[in-house]
């Protein structure tokens, strides 16, 4: 698959993702199932992990 | 008996779970149409007889039946891909079946004479963020200087002219269209509104591929999420500047910043209401900045935006209750 980014937004996202992370992203208590996570719809907001076995909130909550 | 309230959404919509329960407890009669189960789990027969459409939908697992003539209100919530009995349709069969389903669904919806939260034509007309800025400025909001361009030189000139930092903002979706491709084809998950610095100088050449949207970075005292439901205005003050993760874009729900109810100045509340109504919408979720000098700056309006995260963090803003009550009243023709 072609993974080299060409579009500015993707290059920018790649650069941000490459920055050192302070820890695994985790939704704050009380808001993680508010429908503001996982726009892809692959996650199960009611489960501890999504169907891929990953912690929910794969989009870091950027969906409102 | 009151007419029914059709909720058009998808299975994962927690907002719809909670509002439907409140509709039911308020003597309303919700009927949920999850598009990601449609038409797989529904029977549908519509017949044009005597100058009008008759018939309706049956939800097969529950046996619940919705007659077209019994729909008193529609809540348009979220989209989803249609689902068919066979998961083995060829690509062209799937494309055709999707197109037919869209045609059937919107023929059904557009033919309804009922209360709308909000009508799909109004929603479609309201989503364009560039037009929103124009309207917001006309109505008296501050609006950040903005530029759309595929020329890096024009970005440099814009940055020089505003004499301040700029931000890049995805106009369509911060998900970078991840939901539109298969999981194995996703190369990025999201991109929040991002402050552009000298570190991005080289990347900016890539705007030549596709025009991008930039705005002057506006210094913030705090942010507001203003949710209009019917004729009610709910405002939450978001202390986004208290954490670096939310300083540029407040939508990082890992940061435990303070959200609290805000009493808007009456003219600002009226302006938000007027803005939403100007599109014929019954719902809108506006993002505003309040600058250190107290100016109200418009960022965007989301005609089907989320509101539950605000209510969860500020429980006194009972938006699920207000929305349910609005739908029940609408279905009753009040």
* 3-class SS of residue B160: helix
| Pairing relationship of beta strands B283-290 and B296-302 according to DSSP bridges | antiparallel
Of all residues in chain B, the percent with pLDDT exceeding 90 is 85
Interface test with A, best of B253, B284, B299 (most A CBs within 10 A): B253
Residue B189's pLDDT is what? 74
CB contact under 8 A, A13 and B188: yes
Predicted TM-score (pTM) of the model is 0.92
On the question of pLDDT at A63 being above 80, the answer is no
Tokens of B45: 């027969």
Q: Which residue of B has its CA nearest to A6?
A: B206
* Chain A hits for B35, Cβ within 8 Å: none
DSSP secondary structure string for all residues of B217-257: PPP-SEEEEEEEETTEEEEEEE-GGGSGGGSS-S--TTS--
Instruction: Give yes or no for B294 touching A (CB within 8 A).
Output: no
Burial of A48 (0-12, 13-18, 19+ CB in 10 A): exposed
The ipTM, to two decimals, is 0.88
Tokens of B203: 């990347």
Per-residue pLDDT band for A48 (boundaries 50, 70, 90) equals very low
Instruction: Give yes or no for B236 touching A (CB within 8 A).
Output: no
CB contact under 8 A, A63 and B175: yes
Tokens of B201: 């100088």
Dmax (CA) for chain A in angstroms is 39
On the question of pLDDT at B182 being above 90, the answer is no
* 3-class SS of residue B321: helix
On the question of pLDDT at B180 being above 50, the answer is yes
Per-residue pLDDT band for A62 (boundaries 50, 70, 90) equals low
The length of chain B in residues reads 334
State mean pLDDT over B30-58.
96
> Tens digit of pLDDT for each residue in B188-223?
878 889 999 988 999 999 999 999 999 999 999 999
Q: What CA–CA distances, in Å, run from B220 to B148, B186, B236, B242, B244?
A: 23, 34, 15, 11, 13
Q: Which residue of B has its CA nearest to A37?
A: B253
CB contact under 8 A, A64 and B12: no
- Helix H or strand E encompassing B22: helix B14-25
């Amino acid at each position: 698959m072609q993974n080299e980014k060409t579009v500015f937004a993707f290059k920018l996202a790649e650069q941000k993702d490459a920055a050192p992370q302070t820890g695994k992203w985790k939704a704050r208590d009380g808001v993680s199932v508010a429908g503001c996570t996982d726009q892809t719809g692959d996650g199960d907001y009611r489960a501890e992990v999504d169907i891929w076995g990953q912690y929910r909130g794969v989009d870091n909550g950027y969906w409102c | 008996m009151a007419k029914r309230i059709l909720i058009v959404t998808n299975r994962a919509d927690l907002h719809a779970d909670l509002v439907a329960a409140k509709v039911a407890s308020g003597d309303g009669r919700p009927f949920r149409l999850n598009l990601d189960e449609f038409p797989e789990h529904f029977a549908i027969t519509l017949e044009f007889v005597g100058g009008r459409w008759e018939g309706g939908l049956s939800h097969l697992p529950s046996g619940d039946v919705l007659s077209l003539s019994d729909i008193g209100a529609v809540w348009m919530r979220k989209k989803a891909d249609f689902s068919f009995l066979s998961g083995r349709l060829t690509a062209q069969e799937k494309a055709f079946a999707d197109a037919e389903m869209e045609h059937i669904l919107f023929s059904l919806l557009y033919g309804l004479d009922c209360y709308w939260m909000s009508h799909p034509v109004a929603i479609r007309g309201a989503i364009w963020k560039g037009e929103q800025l124009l309207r917001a400025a006309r109505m008296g909001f501050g609006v950040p200087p903005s530029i759309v361009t595929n020329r890096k030189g024009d970005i440099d000139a814009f940055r020089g002219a505003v004499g301040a930092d700029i931000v890049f903002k995805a106009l369509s979706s911060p998900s970078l269209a991840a939901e539109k491709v298969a999981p194995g084809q996703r190369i990025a998950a999201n991109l929040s509104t991002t402050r552009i610095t000298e570190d991005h100088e080289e990347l900016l050449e890539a705007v030549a591929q596709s025009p991008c949207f930039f705005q002057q970075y506006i210094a913030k005292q705090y942010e507001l999420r203003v949710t209009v439901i019917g004729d009610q205005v709910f405002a939450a003050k978001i202390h986004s500047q208290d954490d670096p993760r939310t300083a540029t874009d407040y939508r990082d729900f890992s940061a435990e910043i303070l959200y609290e109810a805000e009493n808007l100045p009456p003219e600002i509340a009226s302006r938000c209401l007027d803005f939403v109504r100007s599109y014929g919408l019954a719902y809108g979720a506006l993002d505003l900045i309040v600058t250190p000098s107290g100016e109200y700056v418009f960022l965007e309006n989301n005609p089907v935006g989320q509101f539950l995260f605000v209510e969860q963090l500020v429980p006194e803003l009972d938006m699920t209750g207000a929305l349910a009550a609005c739908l029940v009243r609408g279905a009753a023709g009040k």
